[in-house]
């Protein structure tokens, strides 16, 4: 039934893609028997035919009820849509493939699809989500022992670092990936790696190195026959030659890129190449032509929602209008581009746009704004200080090398003068004294030069050392500030327990670990259950009303300490609401559920709460609990929403049964012939074989609520 539902969406797409009708005659003439045929069409740049073919394969897989072929077809459809720059439709297609692979427990395919989704987020400039999915894919590949898969994820992570302007991290990831990819003869990934390393060298100003890498990448692209990668490398070479001032070569490569992008229906890439051509026109002095092309490209980029391209065009227009002394228009474009770059946390782009703002404000005579923009630029540059430090050291080394070569040339010239003086001494006896004096002066000068050289070298080393120490102090301060901010954002300030943000970061991974452990049979070798307790303080409102909110705060602090005393430090202890607390016990056993609930309830009853002054009181609590997963034999059957709703339902039952009680599900065994409890709990949650435990006299004493209000914490 799930497969049919997934395919229904695919049929909707089939009705939307009018290209299928125009490509049908071609497909009848040349039948597509497999997804390999579709992939060949895609790599050849025949995207319309490939899209029609993959939709027909989806129809066939629905009829045959072949869910794995359907998942593969959805993945292939995602690749095609991405090459056409339709990233949202590609994202939906990947997620449908992931649903099927997860149901079938195809771990290699799950890892590949997680990687595809991560790359899709990168294309849409959602870098945080891209890191999340790519790291999940890398961890899964590592657990499967797939070194090639790990290397491809290092390549993808390097591309995210490059987009963020973190060039040192990007080069580290890309070079690590390149070694493994070459060993495994993955030529397509090798060319992508070389192309992006060349792009990074261009951004760092090492243009000759960039040309070498990009030329090698283009050679491999032509060998593999990848139309899109060939077009992208042509565009990068065009950008490089534009920066080098070799405008004819830039125009040649960019025209090649435009031609190939037009043939494969890739609007975003096509517009990028058009923007670069416009910059060539500006560089050769054709301002009217260049500005017209840029403004037309900006309109198309806005219509297509190409955010990163919009930022790039705004920067190009700002520079162009600045050259034309149209400062107001230049300022508008620079500010728009800076706002977009900040939203995506692209530090390198921010620094470039802030530099443009400094030039604009200076040209306007608004020196206060220019100074403020310069300060902001320096703040951004401090965040990429590792890269800047590397460039500074390299420049210093270059200056030292130039000084050394100059001294060598000077030494050769002086030696030649000494040789000529000695020759004259042999012929003219009267010139011997003069020659000796000249030689002596030259020696003194040489010694002085060497002394000054050593002194300069020591000064440079001292400056580098001081700068390095300052950077280390700055990094330490930033790390401490980050840790402090992280703790403040993840903990409840009153009780010191974690808050919901921490739960959202930790719980999905814990649930997946637990489910996979039970699915693979590892849970038989140790404690792999998660125990979920939802705790509510009985009559807490009365404490606030009678003794005041300060007394209520003191009560909550002591109640949180009881939680720490009963549960382990490794457990997730969350302040859920005003008087509600959530505890997730990790690496535990469901056999301990009843014991922990009873022990905590008794600890609360025996504790005397100090409310300030001489005011003391006793209190009780109500608890609902359940294990994760509910059924060990079916670990993926229930999601987090269902499990939390079940625990909350048990908590309401304990409160409705008179409070000062605990009610929970200690186990679910669907293989049991008769359910232990077939009352409201079993019917509400469709549980078979649920074992209910309670501190009440018997199960009949439980007053099950009819329709409790359950707040679902987060998606599974």
- Mean pLDDT calculated for residue range 517-529: 76
pLDDT of residue 399: 42
Q: Of 4-8, 24-28, 409-413, 431-435, where does the model show the most confidence?
A: 431-435
pLDDT over 50 at 432, yes or no: yes
Burial (0-12, 13-18, 19+ Cβ within 10 Å), 138: buried
Task: Name the pLDDT band for 601 (thresholds 50, 70, 90).
Answer: very high
- Mean pLDDT calculated for residue range 186-190: 82
pLDDT of residue 544: 92
Please state, in angstroms and rounded to a whole number, the distance separating the CA atoms of residues 115 and 134. Answer: 5
**672 to each of 33, 518, 604, 689, 691, how far by Cα in Å?**
47, 19, 36, 6, 11
Mean pLDDT check: name the lowest of 1-15, 155-169, 402-416, 538-552: 1-15
Domains 1-105 and 107-185 share a fold: yes
Structure tokens at 151: 């290397």
pLDDT over 70 at 3, yes or no: no
pLDDT of residue 295: 80
> 111-151, pLDDT tens digit by residue?
999 999 998 998 888 888 988 999 999 999 999 999 888 98
Structure tokens at 423: 């020759």
pLDDT over 90 at 196, yes or no: no
Average pLDDT, whole number, for the chain? 81
Transcribe 301-344 into DSSP letters: HHHTT-HHHHHHHHHHHHHHHHHTT-HHHHHHHHHHHHHHHHHH
Q: Where on the phi/psi map is residue 561: left (φ > 0), alpha (ψ -120 to 50), or beta?
A: alpha
> 478-498, pLDDT tens digit by residue?
887 777 676 667 888 999 999
The residue among 300 and 628 whose pLDDT is bigger is 628
pLDDT of residue 116: 92
Alpha carbons within 13 angstroms on the beta-carbon side of residue 651 total 26
CATH class of 107-185: mainly alpha
Please state, in angstroms and rounded to a whole number, the distance separating the CA atoms of residues 315 and 409. Answer: 45
Total-model pTM:
0.42
pLDDT over 50 at 565, yes or no: yes
- Mean pLDDT calculated for residue range 69-96: 87
> 320-339, pLDDT tens digit by residue?
888 888 888 888 888 888 88
Question: Are 294 and 313 a contacting pair, CB within 8 Å?
Answer: yes
pLDDT over 80 at 175, yes or no: yes
Tell me which residue of 213, 276, 269 sits closest to 247, measured CA to CA: 276
Q: 1-105 in CATH: which number?
A: 1.25.40.10
Burial 150-172 (b: 16+ CB within 10 A, else e): bbbbbbbbbbbbbbbbbbbbbbe
Q: 500-701 in CATH: which number?
A: 3.30.70.270
């Amino acid at each position: 039934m799930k497969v049919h539902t997934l395919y229904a969406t695919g049929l909707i797409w089939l009705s939307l893609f009018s290209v299928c009708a125009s490509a049908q005659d071609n497909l009848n003439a040349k039948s597509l028997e497999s997804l390999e045929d579709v992939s060949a069409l895609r790599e050849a740049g025949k995207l319309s035919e490939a899209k029609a073919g993959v939709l027909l394969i989806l129809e066939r897989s629905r009829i045959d009820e072949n869910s794995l072929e359907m998942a593969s077809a959805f993945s292939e459809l995602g690749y095609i849509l991405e090459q056409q720059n339709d990233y949202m439709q590609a994202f939906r297609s990947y997620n449908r493939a992931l649903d099927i692979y997860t149901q079938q427990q195809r771990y290699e395919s799950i890892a590949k699809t997680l990687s595809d989704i991560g790359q899709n987020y990168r294309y849409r400039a959602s870098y945080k989500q891209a890191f999340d999915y790519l790291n999940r894919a890398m961890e899964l590949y590592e657990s499967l022992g797939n070194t090639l898969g790990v290397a491809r994820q290092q390549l993808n992570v390097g591309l995210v670092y490059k987009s963020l302007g973190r060039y040192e991290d990007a080069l580290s990831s890309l070079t690590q990936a390149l070694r493994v990819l070459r060993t495994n003869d993955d030529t397509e990934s090798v060319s992508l790696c070389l192309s992006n390393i060349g792009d990074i060298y261009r951004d760092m100003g090492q243009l000759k190195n960039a040309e070498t890498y990009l030329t090698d990448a283009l050679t491999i692209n032509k060998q593999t026959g990848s139309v899109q990668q060939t077009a992208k490398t042509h565009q990068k070479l065009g950008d490089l030659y534009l920066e080098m001032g070799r405008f004819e070569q830039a125009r040649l490569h960019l025209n090649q890129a435009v031609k190939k992008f037009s043939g494969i229906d890739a609007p975003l890439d096509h517009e990028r190449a058009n923007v670069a051509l416009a910059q060539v026109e500006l560089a050769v002095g054709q301002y009217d032509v260049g500005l017209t092309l840029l403004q037309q490209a900006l309109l198309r980029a806005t219509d297509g929602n190409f955010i990163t391209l919009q930022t790039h065009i705004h920067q190009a227009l700002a520079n162009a209008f600045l050259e034309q002394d149209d400062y107001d228009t230049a300022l508008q474009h620079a500010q728009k581009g800076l706002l977009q770059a900040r939203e995506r946390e692209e530090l390198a782009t921010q620094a470039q746009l802030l530099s443009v703002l400094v030039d604009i404000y200076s040209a306007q005579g608004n020196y206060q704004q220019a100074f403020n923009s310069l300060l902001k630029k320096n703040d951004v540059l401090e965040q990429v200080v590792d890269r800047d430090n590397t460039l500074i050291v390299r420049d210093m080394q270059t200056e030292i090398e130039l000084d050394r070569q100059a001294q060598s040339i000077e030494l050769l010239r002086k030696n030649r003068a000494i040789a000529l003086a000695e020759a004259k001494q042999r012929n003219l006896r009267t010139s011997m004294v003069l020659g000796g004096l000249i030689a002596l002066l030259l020696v003194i000068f040489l010694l002085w030069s060497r002394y000054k050289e050593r002194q300069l070298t020591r000064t440079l080393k001292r400056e580098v050392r001081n700068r390095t120490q300052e950077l280390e102090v700055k990094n330490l301060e930033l790390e401490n500030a980050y840790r402090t901010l992280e703790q403040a954002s993840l903990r409840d300030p009153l009780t010191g327990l974690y808050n919901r943000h921490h739960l959202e970061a930790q719980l999905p991974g814990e649930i997946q670990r637990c489910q996979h452990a039970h699915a693979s049979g590892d849970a038989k070798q140790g404690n792999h259950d998660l125990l979920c307790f939802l705790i509510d303080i009985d009559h807490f409102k009365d404490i606030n009303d009678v003794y005041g909110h300060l007394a209520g705060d003191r009560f909550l602090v002591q109640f949180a300490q009881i939680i720490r005393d009963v549960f382990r430090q490794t457990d997730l202890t969350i302040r859920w609401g005003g008087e509600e607390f959530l505890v997730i016990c990790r690496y535990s056993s469901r056999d301990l559920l009843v014991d922990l609930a009873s022990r905590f309830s008794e600890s609360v009853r025996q504790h005397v709460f100090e409310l300030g002054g001489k005011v003391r009181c006793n209190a009780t609590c109500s608890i609902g609990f359940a294990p994760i997963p509910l059924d060990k034999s079916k670990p993926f059957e229930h999601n987090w929403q269902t499990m939390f709703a079940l625990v909350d339902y048990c908590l309401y039952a304990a409160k409705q049964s008179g409070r000062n009680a605990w009610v929970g599900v200690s186990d679910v065994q669907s293989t049991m012939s008769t359910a232990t409890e077939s009352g409201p709990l079993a019917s509400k949650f469709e549980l078979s074989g649920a074992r209910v435990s309670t501190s009440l006299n018997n199960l009949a004493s439980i007053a099950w609520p009819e329709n409790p209000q359950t707040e679902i914490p987060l998606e599974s």
